[in-house]
Structure 1
Amino acid sequence: MKEQLSWSIDRHSDPVLYREIALKEDTKQLFLQVQYPKEFEYGSFLVIFDSNGQMRLQKLLGYGEQKIGIGTSPQNTTVGGVPGILPKGIYRIALGIFTEYLERYEGTLPVTVQITIDTDSTDPSLTQSIGASCWIDDLTDGKMVFNRYDRKKIYNEQTRWYKGDFHTHTRLSDGKQTVEDAMKLAKEMQMDFYVPTEHNLVHTGWIDTPVMPVPGVEITTGLGHCNLFGITQYPGYITAIMEHVNQPDLEDYLLMQIQEAKEKGWLVSINHPFLHIWKWKCKKIALEDISCMEIVNDPTYQYAKEANDETIDFLDLLHKDGYCITGVGGSDAHNLPDEYYPGAKEHSVTGDPATFVYAEGLSPEKLLSNVKKGHVCVTRHCNISFQAKGKWKEYLPGDHIEEETITIRIQVTDAKTPAELYAVSYRDGVLGEQIQKIKVPGGKKQGDTYSWECYYSVMGSGWQWLRFEVRDSDGNFMAYTNPLYYGTKEHCFIQLGDALEEMD
């Protein structure tokens, strides 16, 4: 069978356009050759449902040649696909419009997208296959459930800080790197884990690599972007979000998606909440449903510095109100490693910033559990070690102090620029309810290593917390430790919008 489908896209097109084809018999391989104007790269995405209603492929039509296939193994199925026999019957082919991209598109409209579907070809070459293994092998319930992904698999048994990246993109969506190249770079960056977060798309398997992959997704809407970490299946409201992208009820579907994440134990992270045209606008999200906030997003991007610093201040405000939301970093890297954003002096690469998570052994389950506890530091161009000791026990960032006085030692190594340490603290009812930020004196320098020792004493019984950040002499971000907490507090803010109004 060979059949050609064609779509004409303009600014008035529906966000998802459907076509149907019929397979007259069970098939082992389906090839798709996609054609569109080069200037429309990243403008649309493809979703295929088989005759049983099972989603068999989802992929953004982006960088590079789009030779796509669904076969019986991960090696002959395109990234984002589900391998297996293709049963005969009616297939739904959905072409989605990436409306964020279309709104900024300056090329000629309408744009024609053509897809040639072929079940007879013997050419096995694909632009990007899944790789060594697929996370899905049950095609009976109509859902992409990661039943073959092992959340308990131990990648390392050591108790230590593990380095990774919580916001990444590959050619499954609008990244320019293949998964293979991304993993090579991750290894070069000495990363232990990697969280792929494609735009409204999920990876269905992974290549063979020592870097631990953790399934994730970036829920991408006109109301803002959020990452879900540790997903166990294709999120249930993505299709509705894509179909209602320009409609008033989009917020309802976004909130339902966040609620599903909460019910299934996935971590919700708000991405770049103050960044340029991608600011977070969904004010009704309950703060108790937010696990993480991305305090540093791609620091090489032209609008990043001010937006990232504003996010750090905003998270301080949430901590002041008694919330223990974990600050994480994300490179949000889309480019090839040797490319620059306009005006940038550094390459945008995976692992910059780096997020370090302290864990007693590395597995997906242990990693996410410790992220939720706040055992996290974020760095740029340096490494940081954190040690907090009381008389009776030791503490990690994110822990609640159980003693009146603790000693804290912080060391920054491999620093590319001179480092200055700041202590940021809040004590309920003290200093007129103000957050205090002071430079920590007495730092010791030896080569590219800086060390500090300081003491913290609990004052009274009210809510209080202490965190640290490292800056260079020009005020540029180098490192962040999540807070140590003491006591409890009844929240004044219930929804994110309450805190945003206070911030304004």
Structure 2
Amino acid sequence: MIFKGKFDNNKKVEKLEYKFEIPEGTNRISLNLTKGPFQHVLISLEDSEGRTRVLTSFKTFKKKYYVTTHWESTSNCCIPGDIPPGEWKIKLLKPYLVESEFELEVAVENGNLIKKENMKKISLKEHYPDIKEWYAGELHNHTTVSDGSITLKDLKKEILEKGIDFIFPTEHNSILTKYPDLDKPIIPSTELTLDDLGHFNLFGLRQFIDYYDFIEENEKREESLKKIFAEVKKQGGYISLNHPFHNSSKMCLGLFYNIDLKDLDFIEVINSPTSLDRNSYYDKKALEALDMLWKDGHKIFAVAGSDNHGITLGDPLNYIRLEKYSTKNILENLKKGRTYISRVGEIKLRMENDGDVIYPGDEVDGEVLIKVFSSQSLMWKVIKNGKVIHTGKGKELTVTQYVSSGEYLRIEGVSEDHEPMVIINPIYNALKVPTLEKWFDVKDVVWRD
């Protein structure tokens, strides 16, 4: 069966649906993307019982997908299981202006394609032997499953060589269902990419989000995002605003939608620092926004990602303090802000509040002692309520500060070129109730063209 057409570039949002019959006894369906734009146009395959079985987009180097009754022979980004007879649907969502012809081919087959590959199921219910206190992870990355140039097999080598302890796979709009066989937590996630006016990482998802069902042709994008964010929270997931100010003459990737700030759990303050068109000015703006949010009482924590589309992974890394080395504990402590970001490897961090050990993200009261040791000499800044109150240079920093009600305190290490290298998430004392409600309340102050 061939389904083809042409997208209308006069329509900002297009929703197309194609129906076909699946006969009794079918145990394999293939979907082939034979022609289409290399754009964020979403494709989902829905079975006769209303379940989404395939979620992908045209912006992928992976062009053929199999849905079968067995996990081993079902493709990545697909859900295996019974193939019920009746009316199935291919749903196409074009969420921004795209003009292109497209063609998809569906084949209904019998006989399972048993594909033996060294892959594991991605699960949120994994626990591993506890081996240390701080664990390093990558929160933003892409492979050939979407628009990256590294394969999952080569990504496995990168993870092992760089000693990465956990990874959040964030392919554009699709959720990986299998991953190379690694004895490490792989947390199901995705990068929501409906256009280039706002990207978000959605962490810790328990099932596919078929965006087709959350977006209407004539509604504002803020309304669509609100519905998607609600579904993420319903699943117990978290939302990160990616590269909020990465705007240049070549590409605008910042956030240009006036979303509710209360929907955000994290803000990405270092993004793709090794890319060729790198400009640390954008990250500094993200840190400025972070301070503005904290000063207003928002507990939105800093995260970072390599956003690799090539082969570089793990620069920067997010270090999380864990009581248990498990996917559940990683997500919970990420949400608590018990983390720091580093481009110089693991640092030694000791924090005390009146003699009691504390960690980033903790609420404190009174005198705080912070000791930092880095393998690389940096210029250190101690920031309280948006103001630099102490500076130092070297591999070590020791500071004692009193944190009063309504205040927060954070540490930042920068290179000689003033590029952010280490970001330690804030500690705080009884923050006020936030007054800023919308993203433009922040953007209009921070982003001055």
Q: State whether TM-score is above 0.5.
A: yes
Code of the aligned partner of 1:228? L
* Mapping for residues 101-120 of structure 1, pairs under 5 Å: 102=98, 110-111=100-101, 113-120=102-109
Distance 1:266 1:67, change over 3 A: closer
- 1:288 is aligned to 262
Distance 1:150 1:284, change over 3 A: closer
Q: 2:301 aligns with which of 312, 318, 326?
A: 326
C-alpha separation in 2, matches of 1:25 and 1:326: 51
Unpaired runs of 5+ residues, structure 1, are 103-108, 136-148, 338-348, 427-433, 444-449
- 2:396 is aligned to 451
Does residue 1:33 correspond to 2:32, yes or no? yes
Shift of 1:199: 2.3
Does residue 1:419 correspond to 2:378, yes or no? yes
* Structure 1 contact 60–172 (Cα < 8 Å) conserved: no
Shift of 1:178: 3.0
RMSD of the TM alignment (CA)?
Answer: 2.6
Structure 1 stretch 301-310 or stretch 115-124: which is displaced more?
A: 115-124
C-alpha separation in 2, matches of 1:491 and 1:52: 44
Shift of 1:24: 2.3
- 2:287 is aligned to 312
Does residue 1:68 correspond to 2:65, yes or no? yes
- 1:436 is aligned to 388
* Structure 1 contact 78–130 (Cα < 8 Å) conserved: no
Shift of 1:65: 5.6
* Mapping for residues 49-448 of structure 1, pairs under 5 Å: 49-64=46-61, 66-97=63-94, 99=96, 102=98, 110-111=100-101, 113-120=102-109, 124=113, 132-134=119-121, 149-151=123-125, 153-222=126-195, 223-235=197-209, 238-241=211-214, 244=217, 247-276=218-247, 277-285=252-260, 287-301=261-275, 302=277, 304-335=279-310, 337=311, 349-402=312-365, 404-413=366-375, 415=376, 418-426=377-385, 435-436=387-388, 438-441=390-393, 443=394
- The residue matched to 2:442 in structure 1 has which SS? helix
C-alpha separation in 2, matches of 1:263 and 1:70: 27
Shift of 1:198: 2.4
C-alpha separation in 2, matches of 1:97 and 1:313: 34
Distance 1:269 1:46, change over 3 A: same
Code of the aligned partner of 2:220? D
* Mapping for residues 467-486 of structure 1, pairs under 5 Å: 467-486=410-429
- The residue matched to 2:324 in structure 1 has which SS? strand
C-alpha separation in 2, matches of 1:131 and 1:17: 36
* Equivalent residue pairs, number: 440
C-alpha separation in 1, matches of 2:161 and 2:14: 39
C-alpha separation in 1, matches of 2:323 and 2:132: 4
Distance 1:45 1:258, change over 3 A: closer
C-alpha separation in 1, matches of 2:74 and 2:235: 28
* Structure 1 contact 186–211 (Cα < 8 Å) conserved: no
Shift of 1:91: 1.5
Distance 1:253 1:99, change over 3 A: closer
C-alpha separation in 1, matches of 2:10 and 2:112: 37
C-alpha separation in 2, matches of 1:55 and 1:330: 29
TM-score normalized by the length of structure 2 = 0.89
Shift of 1:134: 4.4
- The residue matched to 1:307 in structure 2 has which SS? helix
- The residue matched to 1:278 in structure 2 has which SS? coil
C-alpha separation in 1, matches of 2:401 and 2:104: 64
Structure 1 vs Structure 2: percent identity of aligned residues? 25
Distance 1:74 1:304, change over 3 A: farther
Deviations 1:298-343 (A, max 9, x none): 11342541111100011011111122211000121122x1xxxxxx
C-alpha separation in 1, matches of 2:307 and 2:69: 32
